[in-house]
Chain A
Amino acid sequence: MIQRSPMPGLGLSMGITMAMLSLVVLLPIGALLLKGASYGLAGVWETVNRERVWAALYLSFRLSLFAAIFNLIFGLLLAWVLVRYRFPGRRILDAAVDLPFALPTAVAGIALTALYAPNGAFGALAADIGWKIAYTQSGIFLALVFVGLPFMTRTVQPVIEEIDAEVEEASATLGASRVHTLRHVILPMLMPAALTGFALSLARAVGEYGSVIFIAGNIPLVTEIAPLLIVIQLEEFNYDAAAAIGIAMLLISFAMLLVINLIQIWSRRRIGYV
């Protein structure tokens, strides 16, 4: 007796999925882990457990987290405005959200640096009040916000579109205040998508190299991001150390995404849907 799945094409699509996933995702990561394994756990730890590496990892993950939190708030707001309000130029604004996806990151980095350097348009204004943006951690933060924003906005936008205005009206007719409606009706519905956007934005920021490299001063211990440290190790033909730092980043990212997933599961249980 054969029990075939009612969905046709399971075998074929499963095979394609497995092969593609292996070739483009699992294989490179496997190669990285293999390289680390051949180097030995002690070697990996010795490479990572250095002041400069810790400083770079701390900088990368801390600023990525800040950028993701910033995007969580303002990306959400942006999505809300784009969906709920009608105003001239809305479609252009809507299209502009995708630009950070399409722009080569090096171009973004150079453009941001030109604007925020002490002699740039915005940098000069900031310099007047004694605030340096380019070549400091503020500059890195700015670049990370730039590349992460569309992930947030594009993830929550369709969910906001699904929420009927009637839901809010119902809430209002039942006597809820605006804040109460927002807090107990709107935000719970947005929560899962917002968390996904947050995770994507965070992951993107952690791995970002191209745009940051131009606007960061790249000074060791101060503005040196972890991906740059990997590149420097490669320049020294120190492939083992490069792999070790890569593995450290992978593990930290994995732990962070795991936590975000757990929060998502928890919120789903608590709210009971989505």
Chain B
Amino acid sequence: MLHFITIGSGVPSMGIFGNAANDEKSDLETGSAAPIRDIELRPVPACAPVSARIWLGIVASVAAIGLVLGSSIATKAQAEVKLLNVSYDPTREFYREFNEVFSAFWVAQGNPAPVIETSHGGSGSQARAVVDGLKAQVLTLALSGDIDRAAKAGLLPEDWQSKLPHNSSPYTSTIVFLVREGNPKGLKDWGDLVNEGVQVITPNPKTSGGARWNYLAAWAFAEKNGLDPKDFVGKLYKNVPVLDSAARGSTTTFAQRGIGDVLLAWENEAYLGLKELGDDQFDIVVPSISVLAEPPVAIVEKNIESDEQRKVAEAYLNYLYTPESQALALKHFYHAWDTSAAAPEDVARFPKLELVDIASFGGWAKVQPEHFGDGGIFDQIYVAK
């Protein structure tokens, strides 16, 4: 507050308001310098000078705030091409490395070095941030439903997913179990997770894209095994003691805080957990059935400000499909399409399991409102007994 006022008092003398402000300022000076003479000589209505000064105060404060906000905008204008990639939670490590590789490639092509920034968080919240005005040029989210939201808001064309190969998904992943070393509870498949006394850690599917895949994988298991899926998923979530808002939060809860017997995790997040935290603490369990998660990528047409920016954005996404990048995705525990440049152990790592894709659930446009919308099937799990 003090900060604003300090700036505000200097504003009129800076001449921003032109004559009007200066007039008022001189009025102010005579008023405060010689109040007694004022009373004798100037028979103006009592409230006039006071109200004029109230207005001066209002104008000065608004200008002060405008000045502060304006200066922050002014510093943003820069010459180099900037790219903001808004991504979901477990891609941090991959994009950190990919950005370096891409920048090197782009400069080698004879272009000026681009400034690439990435932002990570729950896929749903990231999509909302972009819809609410975060100026992302590239979206790399956990599910196409989240990019659809941005498309519905008019930020990119509705047919965005047909622009790039493989449903615009340069890499795919699936959901596996991360259990404590030696699997003390003997958890082998989805059916074991609803047992009495098993604690399952998964994020809230309302806010996390990965959690929606977790939920759907359990649903697919129930359907395939002739169980009532709604009842099965309900039982599963009754075993969840902590509902974090994003995938990374759940990993922390499970790995650092020691809560729960099993973490439903992105496959890449699970392998990363093993690598970072030591494979003597956790084991990966692959269930009989899981989902084929296709995290898609897209350019946000509405937020492209110049031709150079478009060129970089397009090259950025296309580069994801080159053998080098595909190898990089495999190195970061994603499944990729092109294994020609990849290290053999990165390819051989993944076990074979039955995968169901989102189309078999009827697509996100159907799944999202039915399961995760307000009052949807997920909400119905949490009603008081």
**Do A and B interact?**
yes
Question: Closest B-chain residue to A113, C-beta based?
Answer: B257
Q: Cα distance A140–B8 when bound, in Å?
A: 41
B13 to chain A, nearest CB (A): 14
Asked if B62 is at the interface of the complex by the 8 Å CB criterion, the answer is yes
- B241 x A135 contact (CB < 8 A): yes
- In the complex formed, the residue of A with least CB distance to B1 is A20
* Of B35, B43, B56, B373, the contact of A236 (CB 8 Å cutoff): B373
Count of A interface residues, CB-CB < 8 Å: 44
A218–B65 Cα distance when bound, in Å, is 37
Asked whether any CB of chain B lies closer than 8 Å to the CB of A234, the reply is yes
Residues of B within 8 A of A236 (CB): 206, 372-374
A21 to chain B, nearest CB (A): 10
Take A2-B46, A16-B5 as given contacts and tell me if A237 and B256 are in contact as well, using a CB distance cutoff of 8 Å: no
CB-contacts of A1-58 with B (<8 A): 1-4, 8-20, 23, 51-52, 55
State whether the Cβ of B116 lies closer than 8 Å to any Cβ in chain A.
Answer: no
Kindly report which residue of chain B lies nearest to residue A13, judged by CB atoms. B57
Given known pairs A20-B1, A118-B257, A235-B206, the reply for A221 and B382 (CB within 8 Å) is yes
B1, B57, B149, B382: residue with the most chain A Cβ atoms closer than 10 Å: B57
In the bound complex, do residue B8 and residue A16 qualify as a contact, i.e. CB atoms below 8 Å apart? Answer: yes
* Chain B 332-385 residues near chain A, CB threshold 8 A: 372-374, 379, 382-384
Of the listed stretches B47-55, B267-275, B279-287, name the one at the interface; the rest are far from the partner chain.
B47-55
A252 interfacial contact with B, CB 8 Å: no
Give the docked Cα–Cα distance between A19 and B58 (Å). 5
Q: A238 — nearest CB in chain B belongs to which residue?
A: B374
| Count of chain B residues near A, Cβ 8 A | 54
**Are A11 and B53 interface neighbours, CB within 8 A?**
yes
Q: How far is the CA of A232 from the CA of B383 in the complex (A)?
A: 17
What CA separation (Å) do A118 and B122 show in the bound complex?
Answer: 26
Minimum Cβ distance to chain B for residue A123 (Å): 9
A11-B51 in contact (CB<8A): yes
Interface assignment of B79: CB less than 8 Å from any CB of chain A: no
Chain-A contact segment, one of B99-107, B123-131, B304-312: B123-131
Interface-forming stretch among B133-141, B227-235, B242-250? B242-250
Q: How far is the CA of A16 from the CA of B59 in the complex (A)?
A: 8
Which residues of chain A come closer than 8 Å to B57, judged between CB atoms?
11-19
Q: B56 contacts which of A15, A113, A218, A219 (Cβ < 8 Å)? A: A15
The 0/1 profile, CB within 8 Å of B marked 1, for residues 103-132 of chain A is 000000000011001111000000000000
B326 sits at the interface (CB 8 A):
no
Report yes or no: A117 in contact with B257, Cβ–Cβ below 8 A.
Answer: yes
State which of A14, A55, A114 has its C-beta within 8 Å of the C-beta of B256.
A114
Q: Which residues of A contact B44 (CB under 8 A)?
A: 2
Distance in angstroms between the alpha carbons of A16 and B54 in the assembled complex: 7
- Indicate if the CB atoms of A118 and B373 lie closer than 8 Å: no
Interface status of B76 (Cβ within 8 A of chain A): no
B12-66 residues at the A interface, CB under 8 angstroms:
28, 32, 35, 38-39, 42-44, 46, 49-62, 65
In the complex, whether A217 has a CB less than 8 A from a CB of chain B is: yes
Min CB gap A128→B, angstroms: 15
Residue-wise interface mask of A (82-94) relative to B, using a CB-CB cutoff of 8 A (1 in contact, 0 not): 0000000000000
CB-contact partner of A219 in B58, B59, B242, under 8 A? B242
Given contacts A9-B32, A217-B242, whether A235 and B384 have CB atoms under 8 Å apart is no
A4 to B244, CA, bound (A): 60
* CB closest chain-A residue, reference B35: A4
Encoded as 1 (CB less than 8 Å from any B CB) or 0, chain A from 234 to 250 comes to 11111001000000000
Give the chain B neighbours of A8 by CB distance below 8 A. 32, 35
CB-nearest residue of chain A relative to B376? A236
Partner of B258, one of A51, A118, A220, A238: A118
Asked if A134 lies at the interface with its beta carbon under 8 angstroms from chain B, I say yes
Beta-carbon nearest neighbor of B369 in chain A: A236
What is the minimal beta-carbon distance from A20 to any residue of chain B, in angstroms? 5
Chain A residues contacting B38 (CB-CB under 8 Å) are 2, 4
Task: Indicate if the CB atoms of B128 and A16 lie closer than 8 Å.
Answer: no
Closest residue of chain A to B5 (Cβ to Cβ) is A16
B61 touches A20 (CB 8 A): yes
Q: A213 in the interface, Cβ–Cβ < 8 Å?
A: yes
Bound Cα distance A119, B44 (Å):
75
Instruction: Please tell me if the beta carbons of B384 and A15 are within 8 angstroms of each other in the complex.
Output: no
Interfacial chain A residues near B372, Cβ < 8 Å: 236
CA distance A241 to B206 in the complex (A): 15
> Could you give 20 example pairs across A and B, Cβ below 8 Å?
A8-B35, A10-B53, A11-B51, A12-B56, A14-B53, A15-B55, A15-B57, A15-B61, A16-B57, A16-B60, A17-B57, A19-B60, A23-B61, A114-B257, A217-B243, A221-B382, A221-B384, A231-B207, A235-B207, A236-B373
- Further 13 A-B residue pairs, CB within 8 A, beyond A219-B243, A236-B372: A4-B38, A4-B39, A10-B50, A15-B56, A16-B57, A18-B58, A19-B58, A52-B379, A117-B257, A217-B241, A218-B244, A219-B382, A235-B207
